[in-house]
Copies of this chain bind each other. A is one copy, B any other.
């Protein structure tokens, strides 16, 4: 398990490095090149690409170059959304992953462009690897597009913050769930398997992850989180903690994780995937709640 995880993480980093190196190669403007690198490295936990590769492995992973590209593309879309979410007109966050956010370090114009560039790079990365299996490229681009754009992806999720009223679950499903769903479904698609049975796993993990994020924002400290805390309340954003309280949110987190484990389709890699989800579950609970919520 640990060796498998190390191998997956190393494939993800190598694929991301190759992708960013293409975008940052000459004649790219030097400050843009540096800012692109800053947005992707060092990474966070790389949760979504790991999930994508784990599902691809469970489905036989007969095109490893394509599954690695799909995993990296999902992470690039995630990084793009973080860079734009941190902009002054949204969260105005100056810290991300324990270092200055892109706009804090390189200014707002380059932060807008880095986000744009990473979205484009995600699709280019997929297209390059897709030459190997052209029949799988269209469905993969479609899955990633649905997760990133409107009406149901990251763009739509973030845009709910500009509406006078948003339903919490619609908002969170678009803002967080969509990319988890893309991770599981793209993992299956890249391996030539039917993606539909993998929808629910991504959806439930996305819900769990979003609730965990809300909990950490409410109860963790800045050092643990690597970014400012208390932003949801300060910005009056919809949040599972605001809607259900800390105890209610913890209960939802565990329910979503149970659902996720139960949803894993029967396949050779099902046991390994269950282990991965349960391992993730431990990481999701904020340290300050771990003793009370176990």
Give 9 new A-B contacts, CB below 8 A, not counting A27-B156, A117-B156, A124-B145.
A28-B156, A32-B150, A32-B159, A33-B150, A107-B162, A109-B161, A121-B149, A127-B137, A131-B138
A123 lies within 8 A of chain B by Cβ: yes
Which residues does chain B contribute within 8 Å of A27, judged by CB atoms?
A: 151-152, 156, 170, 174
**Per-residue B-contact encoding for A68-102, CB less than 8 Å = 1, 0 else:** 00000000000010001001011000000000000
Segment of A18-26, A187-195, A261-269 engaged in the interface with chain B: A18-26
Considering the complex, give the chain B residue whose CB is closest to the CB of A118: B149
Given contacts A141-B141, A162-B107, contact A155 B113 (CB under 8 A): yes
A120 contacts B by Cβ under 8 Å: yes
Query: For A116, what are the chain B residues with a Cβ–Cβ distance below 8 Å?
Result: 80, 84, 115-116, 119, 148-149, 154-155
Q: Which of B24, B130, B155, B159 has a CB less than 8 Å from the CB of A151?
A: B24
Residues A149 and B120 in contact, CB atoms below 8 Å apart: yes
Q: Does A166 contact B (CB under 8 A)?
A: yes
Q: 9 A-B contacts, Cβ less than 8 Å apart?
A: A27-B152, A28-B151, A29-B162, A89-B109, A124-B149, A126-B141, A130-B141, A131-B138, A141-B141
**Is residue A168 contacting chain B, with contact meaning CB distance below 8 A?**
no
Q: Mark out the residues of chain A between 28 and 48 whose CB falls within 8 Å of any chain B CB in the assembled complex.
A: 28-33, 36
Contact partner of A123 among B106, B123, B151, CB < 8 A? Answer: B123
Query: For chain A, which range describes its interface: under 10, 10 to 19, 20 to 34, or 35 or more residues?
Result: 35 or more
- Complex Cα distance, B152 from A31, in Å, reads 14
Interface centre among A22, A29, A142, A166 (most CB of B within 10 A): A29
A162 with B31: in contact, given A138-B131, A141-B141, A155-B120 (CB under 8 Å)?
Answer: yes
A163 touches B (CB below 8 Å):
yes
Check: A128 CB closer than 8 A to any chain B CB. yes
A146 close to B (CB within 8 Å):
yes
Q: How far is the CB of A147 from chain B (nearest CB, A)?
A: 9
A256 interface contact, C-beta 8 A: no
Question: Which B-chain residue is minimally distant from A25 (CB atoms)?
Answer: B151
In the complex the two chains form, what is the Cα distance from A31 to B130 in whole Å?
Answer: 35
State A161–B109 Cα separation when bound (angstroms).
9
Q: Are A110 and B148 in contact (CB under 8 A)?
A: no
- The minimal Cβ–Cβ distance linking A162 to chain B, given in whole angstroms, is 5
Chain B residues positioned under 8 Å from A209 (CB to CB): none
B24 engages A163 (CB within 8 Å): no
Cα(A119)–Cα(B166), bound, Å = 25
Per-residue contact bits, chain A 276-288, to B (CB 8 Å; 1 contact, 0 not): 0000000000000
A24 vs B159: C-alpha distance in the bound complex, in angstroms? 12
Determine if B150 and A36 form an interchain contact, defined as CB atoms under 8 angstroms apart. Answer: yes
Instruction: Tell me the bound Cα distance from A23 to B156 in angstroms.
Output: 9
**Could you tell me if B117 and A89 are in contact, using CB atoms closer than 8 angstroms?**
no
- A146 to B, closest residue via Cβ: B124
